[in-house]
Amino acid sequence: MEAKHVAIAVLAAGNARRFGSDKLMADLDGAPLGLPVAQQLAQVDAAAHFAVCQPQATIASHYADLGYDIIDNPQADLGLSVSLHLAVEAAAKTEAQALLVALADMPFVPASHVEALIAACEGETIQSSDANQPMPPAIFPRAMWALLLETKGDAGARQILLNAMTLAAPTGSLRDIDTPDDLAASKALPHRIDPAA
């Protein structure tokens, strides 16, 4: 599939309870932790770029500066599925034939991997893999969106992805940051994204 037929959504409305503060604004290499994946995905010439954020979220203005359409999620307490529903509803208003979903707390995902997911999508759902287990980002063809709207709670699309194809991501690129310890550990590991990737 060509990128111009895909809507991209960064889900950034989590409560970060395990982190204990505004996780997406925590410092990572001199910038907000929630910014790198959005910067990478902004390089992809997609049909639309959405960021689902809590109302008044500080990170939202950074996404807007990158050209993302901001979608407010005032019900983030109800789980990840609410953000997923909002992303699907926004994508449904476009001509996109697939929706790529990424998480804001996975700062090391390169644009090259997202482009590979899009290129591999020929009408089937594809998720990423770190060689051990399937993980986001994932891409869902339009025919699957109705099922995404049926998801509930914090499991997101996990059930839908049980039998999905996987595409291996570069080593270390699928690390997510859930706690301050995760953030500290990530700074000690090689993880720099090549802007040209």
Is pLDDT at 195 greater than 70 in this prediction?
Answer: no
Please tell me the predicted confidence (pLDDT) of residue 194. Answer: 43
Higher-confidence position of 124 and 185:
124
pLDDT band at 133 (very low <50, low <70, confident <90, very high): confident
Nearest to 6 by CA among 81, 106, 116, 86: 116
Please tell me the predicted confidence (pLDDT) of residue 164. Answer: 93
Distance between CA atoms of 101 and 84, rounded to whole angstroms? Answer: 8
The verdict on residue 143 lying in a domain is yes
The verdict on residue 181 lying in a domain is no
pTM score over 0.85: yes
The tens digit of pLDDT for each residue in 17-49 reads: 666 668 899 999 889 999 999 999 999 999 999
Average pLDDT over residues 127-144: 93
The tens digit of pLDDT for each residue in 57-79 reads: 999 999 999 999 999 999 999 98
The verdict on residue 194 lying in a domain is no
Please tell me the predicted confidence (pLDDT) of residue 18. Answer: 63
Average pLDDT, the chain: 90
The verdict on residue 185 lying in a domain is no
Please tell me the predicted confidence (pLDDT) of residue 109. Answer: 96
Could you tell me the CATH number of the domain that includes residue 117? 3.90.550.10
Q: Give the Å distances, CA to CA, from 191 to 31, 36, 69, 106, 183.
A: 15, 11, 28, 11, 12
Please tell me the predicted confidence (pLDDT) of residue 176. Answer: 87
- Total domains present in the chain: 1
The tens digit of pLDDT for each residue in 7-20 reads: 999 999 987 666 66
The verdict on residue 179 lying in a domain is no
The verdict on residue 190 lying in a domain is no
Average pLDDT over residues 136-164: 91
The verdict on residue 183 lying in a domain is no
Please tell me the predicted confidence (pLDDT) of residue 196. Answer: 37
Domain that holds residue 20: 3-173
The verdict on residue 187 lying in a domain is no
